[in-house]
A and B are shown apart, each in its own frame.
Chain A
Amino acid sequence: MSIWTCLKRGFLFTLKPQNLVMLGLLLVVQALAALLMISPLVPTLEESVVATPDQTTEVSLGTITPWMLVELHAKTPPGAKAGLGLGLIVFMLINTFHSAGILSVMRTTDGKFRFPRFFSGGGVYFLRFARLLILLGTALFVFNWLVMELLDPLIQEYGEDSRNERSVFYLDLVRQFFVLSSVACLVMVFEYARIRTVVLEKRSMILTTFASIGFVLRRPIRTFSIFTVTFLLDMAVVGSFALLFILFPVTNAKMIGLHLLLTVFLAYLRVGVRVVRLASEAAFFMENVGSVSGDGRELGPRSKPRDDDESYDMVPSGAAVPFHTEKTFGPSSSADEGVTARELEGADLRRSHGVRPAPVLVAPIEKDPPRKKPENQDLDVPQVVLPQEEPPASVPTVPDEPAEEPVLPSDKKPVEPDEPEAWDEFQRDVSKERRADQPPSEEPPPWAVESDPFNEDLPKK
């Protein structure tokens, strides 16, 4: 799939009417935090020199001024200042919750915003994302230390020895590009880690982070391209509004309202761009890794594995773990990289949320099933495999609705999911048996392709 398709899916996801509500939620949180941050300052404005009726003052200044910070500093009690820092931390935590909620919404079949999905998903993944946040902070700290202590002294030494200002200038540019790119890479890796956590129901954040690094490293151009395009989009939004603010400065009271509206709209757009990036990355991830929807069907079409894709080798032969519920969040099974039997423990999650999983249908899946390019697909590698009209006889069919009498791959006794330990053991056994016993399938399983939450235009079964 090309990055443009991913971006298109990201846009389509973001622009769904229900999801615009989600953006609004994000905006409200941001705006509330921002209002809280500036609230100690606003009252002082009316008593300070800014309150001059001389409009030339207003015209002469294009944006906020340092003295506002002076006022903030001088007239804000120390406790309130500490509150600002605390507020930023709280905002980051709320933002973490939101990210989890958004990704939970993304991974559902229809990809539409629902309050239960959003909040329950946020709750489920919050702690994991918080751990990722700590990991990211640590990584940034370490990176900063490396730059300050190792890279910069080297560059400084070169600069001190050199007489060639031009080369030092360009070296400095390279250094800045490197630093910015590295920070962007870190942010991107952790975004994929979040996506991975939700899509593949990961619990070990360290392993997830390393897996995400591997994911990015195997697809550096495409992952970085998606990030860069959305970053440039963000810059374009910022630049456009900056131009508006400069071209149309506040000269009267009405313009204040206009500026307020523009400010809110700017923030809304920036939140939107951020969600577009996340959704595009999620689409890209699912397209490359595959996923299973909450109702047991794979969300993204399995992409054709690359020969060098180690992650694919990790995919056990197995099937999805379908479950039926309206509360389609949470666990998934996957036929994809890094998925082991442990990941099937998502059932625990279902139980913890009162979701009763459906009996498992175990279908053999070929480790490297042949793919067939759909007729209407013009996408790049990895290619999406459309379902067959008629599944081959050798492959057990999986109905849309779970069968009442599941076909078991072995003589294992069915286990009720209400018995957690037995359920887990059962699934591990199932997984083992899949890997060990099932012959590879010649054709992709019919559930390998299902509706795509990011592009409902794609063919569906």
Chain B
Amino acid sequence: MFQSIFSDWKTGSRVRSIGFLFLALFLVHFPLVRASAQQGGERPRVAYNIEVRLDPEKHQITGKETITWVSNAEEPVSDLLFHLYLNAFKNERTTLMTESPLARRGRSLRKGDWGYVDITSLHQVMSDAGSDGTRVDLKPSLAFIQPDDGNPWDQTVGQVQLAESVQPGQTVTVELEFEARFPHSFSRTGFHQDYLLAAQWFPKLGIYRTAREADRFPAPWNTAGWYCPQYHTHCEFASDFGTYRVSITAPSTHIVGATGKLQSPEVENQDGTTTWVFQQDRVHDFAWTADPQFLVEERTFDPLVPMEEFFSAEEEERFQKEKAWVMETLGLSSEELALRPVSVRLLLQPDHVNQAGRYLKAAMVGLRYYGIWFGAYPYETLTVVDPAFGAGATGGMEYPTFITTGSQFLVHPRGTRPEGVTLHEFAHQFWYGLVANDEFDEAWLDEGITTYTTSRVLEAAYPDRIQTTSYGSFDVGRTPILDLRPDLWSAEPLTTVSADWDKLHLSRLALPSSSILDYFRDLPFLNYLPDVPVHRWAGTRARFFDLEPGRAIRNRSYDFHDSEHYVRAVYVKAPLALMTLENMIGRPAFLKVLREYSARYRFGHPTGDDFLNTLNEVSGQDLSPFFVQMFDTTARVDFEVVSLSSREVSEFEGLFDEVQGDVGTRKTVGPKTFAEARQREKKRHGLMGFGGEEDTNSGASSGQYLNTFVVRRSGSLVLPVTVTYKVEGRDPMEKLWDAKEATLKYEFEDSGRLEWVYVDLMRKVLLDETLTNNVKYREPDKCAARRFSVDVLRWALNMLNFYSNFG
């Protein structure tokens, strides 16, 4: 083990200059920095050794922490920057609070339940030979800085001047003691009664970027040095990969779960506490939880053993089919797609005990599908936490090898709760955990791809899931029509109906939104659709059109002025854009792109440009123009069929010249219909039927039509699109339109009438705002219209009947 570590470090550019004492120090203080020899990615730069004790009554922890950091800088580093994120909950004037005063993730922070982290002592352990073991007090130099906004009340970033600069490639070790108090469940962390989710709880180093690395980022983080943003409302986190060894002492009544692998059976202390030790290599964060009410369910995911407990024969067959397709698409062997055993530990709330199987199955599904798509999950453990009721703000979060989900007391057997959130957070293990993009700077890289991935896996592994709605505290397996998103029916082109959803609410219909109207809206049965399948676009496309555009996708998270626009761009538009890109290059090619992106940047910190380069490279196309429009601008698009017509040529009137002799000689022979002129012309050129009889099929007298249609692109987003049109008696025909011009008029003669025109029949452009105007029929189907009119009439009658009770 150490051999491999040493050899890895030996190959580093700066390591050779480190002497034997350093090596000894390294072995003492840095035993956890172990790179997996078989995997690429960045070298771990930091190691944390933390001992922490929980006081559940005060919701406080006290801890000792040893941080060892290997400088990747190209110049001496004289300071260290720490995230002190619990200070974001210290008062109402912190940057987090001013950005979202006392309300975050649907929960409010109760005044008085403030949180903080206080470094009580801070020492640098001198590493040179002459002062081995000397500890220099750094606390006096500790200062809070506000690199993002200059808010003097924000203390979420601490800066400390080192007693001795760290030379490139050298290691610095600091020891610190801290005391922290958690806020009430709020913004991803905190307690609720005796439940605790400890996230962002310890002083954590920022990322040191070299000039080359920093150059890819906007100001103020575009220069070489520490990258350590403040805690903002909309963004999550970014850190260096490292090794964590954390010892947690909590009351013996508590069940503790954490990032990483439990090193040994927990040890019960004499003071009624128990110490749990977790350790994990190559992760960039550490979270843990403690709750006396947790129920623990543990299973082992073993890819070589059939898992009848979770998968039926049909599901197994479905997975094997998907695996075969992936092997064929990626050109990989079964061995190359092999997955690794993982110990799955579920910490469940007692009220959700009947959902344990669903949680565990979702985790197994994720391990299987994500594993074959993006590479095997490399860690040995996965901890799934079901947060306590009342602590929802800590749910739905991802940390390395540790995810928090969320559910409710009663769930619908065919709904997507708790599977949806579990699969989403687990997908983050790949897009955030392993491919560790900067969530401050380009959150779409993890949230967007994760949302896309979640939709994919739900579609693949849970095809029978339906939309549900919460009706009187119950999940009902029907969906109120007014809550339906239009794209729920868009799975199959031309067999479904869709529309932009943002106009669906009653409030958008010039009616006030009120509880009474809501009651009416939720009147069951007649206003409900049963068994509406969960579609991978559902929710995403729907939410996209709910809001006016704010910023482009590729913006710093904390530059979005509110959460709605942040969510809309990162969680909604980004996956739609990714799906649009997938539709442009095909699903196999897109899978290759993601696989390659995952392989290249596993244990790395890629940027959006890295993703684009991978996209262009793997697809073999220059997709940059489209990518830039979709990700770097707020351009919108709406394709529409403006008109279509089909006119029999014999209907044309006027004076038509008759061609005499060779081409070019024309003679006006007097008033003629166009049909007559064409007929005579064809006769002269021998186009008549075999016996000289009039050709009724191809002649001009009848059956020849001048078909015309016009399609239009509204908005400045230019994407190529296919226009499909159908002439009666023929198969549909396609015409590729680059849409560079705003309109396209197409005119052609044919023996059949034009029946319909459809822009983007296959629904490739998911950013198309309104899909209802993408099609036009020459002769509308009045039967269908009447049927829907009856439905609307029924709806109106029921509504009036409801209101008649009041008069």
Contact = CB atoms under 8 A, between A and B. Distances in A.
A51 B192 contact: no
Given A49-B773, A53-B781, A64-B792, 13 more contacts: A50-B785, A52-B775, A52-B781, A58-B787, A60-B495, A62-B530, A63-B794, A64-B791, A69-B509, A70-B504, A84-B511, A255-B787, A274-B804
Contacts of B792: 38, 41-42, 64, 68
B658 to A, nearest CB: 40
Nearest to B483: A66
B499 interface: yes
Contacts of B504: 66, 69-70
Nearest to B184: A160
A395 interface: no
Given A52-B775, A58-B784, A250-B787, A37 B503 contact: no
A259 B510 contact: no
Contacts of B748: none
Contacts of B797: 30-31, 34, 263, 266-267, 270
Nearest to A191: B805
Query: Nearest 8 pairs between A and B by C-beta?
Result: A67-B499, A51-B780, A34-B796, A45-B785, A165-B389, A242-B525, A64-B791, A81-B510
Contact of A69 (B389, B472, B482, B775): B482
Nearest to B193: A163
Nearest to B488: A66
B790 A259 contact: yes
A49 B497 contact: yes
B389 A164 contact: yes
B788 A78 contact: no
A34 B500 CA distance: 25
Interface string A1-43: 0000000000000000000000000000011011101100110
Contacts of B485: 66
Contact of B508 (A73, A239, A252): A73
Most chain B beta-carbon contacts within 10 A, residue among A41, A67, A85, A144: A67
B789 interface: yes
Contacts of B227: none
Interface residues of A, number: 90
A84 B510 contact: yes
A74 B805 CA distance: 30
B793 A38 contact: yes
B715 interface: no
Contacts of A91: 800, 803-804
Contact of A176 (B473, B798, B804): B473
B510 A38 contact: no
B180 to A, nearest CB: 22
Given A96-B807, A133-B807, A250-B787, A266 B794 contact: yes
B734 to A, nearest CB: 18
Nearest to A176: B472
B614 to A, nearest CB: 37
A57 B787 contact: no
Given A61-B489, A64-B794, A256-B786, A172 B473 contact: yes
Contacts of B408: 165
B494 A54 contact: yes
Nearest to B501: A66
Interface of A: 30-31, 33-35, 37-38, 41-42, 45-54, 56-58, 60-74, 78, 81-82, 84-85, 88, 91-93, 95-96, 99, 129, 133, 136-137, 140, 144, 148, 159-166, 168-169, 172-173, 176, 187, 190, 238-239, 241-242, 245-246, 250, 252-253, 255-256, 259-260, 263, 266-267, 270-271, 274
Most chain B beta-carbon contacts within 10 A, residue among A56, A68, A93: A68
Most chain B beta-carbon contacts within 10 A, residue among A66, A85, A162, A190: A66
Contact of A163 (B192, B526, B771): B192
Contacts of A73: 503, 508-509
B497 A57 contact: yes
Contacts of B366: none
5 contacts: A31-B793, A42-B789, A92-B807, A140-B806, A163-B192
B783 interface: yes
A274 B293 CA distance: 51
Interface residues of B, number: 79
Given A31-B797, A263-B794, A68 B788 contact: yes
B782 interface: yes
Contacts of A42: 785, 789, 792
B769 to A, nearest CB: 11
Given A163-B388, A168-B389, A274-B801, A263 B509 contact: no
B103 to A, nearest CB: 13
Interface in B287-335: 293
B484 interface: yes
A53 B484 CA distance: 23
Given A30-B804, A253-B783, A56 B510 contact: no
Contact of A187 (B489, B494, B806): B806
A422 to B, nearest CB: 38
A67 B777 CA distance: 17
Contacts of A68: 788, 791-792
Contacts of A31: 793, 797
B495 A56 contact: yes
A242 B409 CA distance: 29
B349 interface: yes
A117 B91 CA distance: 72
B418 to A, nearest CB: 13
A129 B807 contact: yes
Contacts of B781: 46, 50-53
B689 to A, nearest CB: 33
B481 interface: yes
A172 B409 CA distance: 12
Contacts of A49: 497-498, 771-775
Interface string B533-566: 0000000000000000000000000000000000
Nearest to A74: B503
B528 interface: yes
Nearest to A44: B785
A52 B409 CA distance: 43
Contacts of B775: 49, 52
A309 to B, nearest CB: 28
B525 A57 contact: no
B772 to A, nearest CB: 5
B783 A263 contact: no
A93 B806 CA distance: 10
Contacts of A62: 529-530
A319 to B, nearest CB: 35
A270 B526 CA distance: 13
A70 B510 CA distance: 12
B806 A64 contact: no
Contacts of A41: 789, 792
B785 A95 contact: no
Given A42-B785, A69-B503, A91-B800, A81 B509 contact: yes
Nearest to A97: B807
B795 interface: yes
A65 B772 CA distance: 12
Contact of A162 (B390, B803, B806): B390
Contacts of B772: 48-49, 67, 70-71
B497 A50 contact: yes
B115 interface: no
Interface in B34-78: none
A252 B784 CA distance: 9
A144 B513 CA distance: 13
A148 B516 CA distance: 13
B23 interface: no
A64 B773 CA distance: 18
B788 A66 contact: no
Given A95-B807, A176-B473, A242 B526 contact: yes
B410 interface: yes
A239 B473 CA distance: 21
Given A45-B789, A53-B784, A242-B526, A61 B497 contact: yes
